[in-house]
Amino acid sequence: MLWSRVFIPTLRDNPADAEAVSHKLLVRAGFMRQLMAGVYSLLPLGQRVLQKIEEIVREEMNRGGAQEFRLPCLHPREIWDRSGRWSKMGSEMFQFEDRRGSDVGLGMTHEEIFAHLASELRSYKELPQSWYQFQTKFRDEPRPKSGLLRVREFTMKDSYSMDVDEAGLDRSFETHFEAYRRIFKRLGLETVAVEASSGSMGGKESIEFMLQTEAGEDWVAACESCGYAANFEKATSRVPEAPKGEALPAPEKFPTPGVRTIADLAAMEGGAPADCQIKTLVYTIDEKIVLVLLPGDDSLVEQKLEDSVEAESLRPAEPDEIRAALGAHPGSLGAVGADDFFVIADESLRGRSGMVTGANEDDFHLRGVDVDRDIPVKGWLDLREVKAGEGCALCGESLRVYKCLEVAHIFKLGTVYSEAMGAQVLNENGKNVPVVMGSYGIGLDRNLAAIVEAYNDDAGICWPINVAPFEVVVSVIKPKDVDCLEAAKRIYEALLERQIDVILDDRDERPGVKFKDADLVGIPYRVTVGPKGLGDGVVELKERRSGNTRDLEVNHAAETVAEFVLDERR
């Protein structure tokens, strides 16, 4: 392929709206262009990388015995109603009426559709089954940003296992887990597998594969001693013993004029440190007011609350709802004597005394609160956000906290979708049982961007060999020099014969422009052919990532370069 004939619109400046490194470089290097917020066109270079990622994923899925499908993007409402997710997904799913007045949606995932197909299975003898596809997904992301890391249209490999029982699911889950390990190794990504919330997918257990990077939006708590790792949405820890506040026979009201935050009360003379305060949050759960309590120096992980309560809807209450229910504004709220409300408290408040909380009267608080005595807690849950340095829940050693990007998520779904779709088989005893399912997703576009986040420098992208748009670029210093061009073409054609993915930069541009473009695009090896080198019978080989260069004898250059490439592919 000739560079002069390929559409590679490189730019010298970063796009103004780009924050993530991958967003900047993929636009600058001519891999993609934005069509609208959260929607991108992949240009030829981007498509070549995506195809290589897809082929790696396909090879590993096939290696595990999975079968490839292709399912529709357009789904009827009825099938999503059967699982209860048409309304649950709400504004996140693109939903509209067709010309016949029927409700349809654009698939954001395919559990329902694969479970519907699984209803044609009849016997345990047909199990296990492992089905997968590469398909476009649509999600009406409220805040698309960071290029391909948060988008509204993307390509996903989603796969689904079907087994007769939980033991079979465990085996299928492990098979997919190992396949994902191999995929990320071949992509050049060092990931960590962490416990995660299953969220709207449902099921009893899920694992995320995380890449440590500042471009991520997730936080992980991990123990280097025992290997425990979990997303903040799931992470737990050993909470250090809390300080004791002043115990009183009964709560005592005191004025707190102008105090509206935990920090205000901690700074006020006669107030209380944050860890001796009770933070009162007000939520509506299935349109009923619920009070959620945590220590003042802790933060609520809302996903933990969602996972712990069975509800159709959950949201923070509006200020007018709070005022009508409790008689005060946020900043003066509390749950002392709140017998008319369902009160949920974090486990770390159990047994605490001498606490300070709002009095449900603006500009007043209560001190000397004994949680067990004064607050009618109806549910004790783990709701708080883990902090760095806290003890690991398994071994007690200190937890490390770091920022991550989710690159894959696998779920043990159980029977939630098979029951909804009527996917049953006869077991060994001749009894109808629902198929036990697993779901396994990996976003190709996001992994493309993740690789760039992991492999870049000041000059541009540094692609690993397995996913690079081209493995080698042959750069002609003077394409109008017949000897230079002919020597470059011979090397180029010899590399093609050896099955090396190579591009010939035959453009009539200054050498500096060609070199900068090659580095920006991130091609792993560059062979430079110029009149001075040819006069000495050599060409120059440069390795993109290390920057190392060496001279190669011109007649054996292709053979030597091919050996480097083939060795690195392994």
pLDDT, tens digit (0-9, with 9 covering 90-100), for 375-402: 999 999 999 999 999 999 999 999 999 9
Going by their DSSP bridges, the two strands 67-69 and 129-138 should be labelled as parallel
What was the pLDDT predicted at 516?
97
**Element spanning 150, H or E:** none
- The CATH architecture of the domain made up of 47-236+401-452 is 2-Layer Sandwich (3.30)
Q: How far lies 249's CA from each of 75, 122, 168, 270, in Å?
A: 62, 67, 58, 19
CB atoms within 10 A of CB 374: 19
Burial 170-186 (b: 16+ CB within 10 A, else e): eebbebbeebbeebbeb
Which residues of the chain register pLDDT less than 70?
Answer: 200-203
What was the pLDDT predicted at 197?
85
Tell me, yes or no, if the pTM score tops 0.85. Answer: yes
DSSP H stretches of helix in 461-556? 482-497, 511-521, 531-535
Where along the chain do its domains lie? Answer: 47-236+401-452, 252-381, 470-569
What was the pLDDT predicted at 123?
97
Rg (CA), the chain: 29
What was the pLDDT predicted at 322?
95
The span from the CA of 17 to the CA of 32, in Å, is: 14
What was the pLDDT predicted at 240?
76
What was the pLDDT predicted at 205?
86
Q: Please choose, from the candidates 80, 16, 126, the residue with its C-alpha nearest in 3D space to the C-alpha of residue 417.
A: 80
What was the pLDDT predicted at 156?
97
What was the pLDDT predicted at 202?
66
**Element spanning 405, H or E:** strand 400-414
Output the CATH code of domain 470-569: 3.40.50.800
The span from the CA of 280 to the CA of 278, in Å, is: 6
The span from the CA of 462 to the CA of 201, in Å, is: 35
- CATH, domain 252-381, list 3.40.50.300, 3.40.50.10490, 3.10.20.30, 3.90.960.10: 3.90.960.10
In the block, tokens 């997918």 appear at: 201
What was the pLDDT predicted at 96?
95
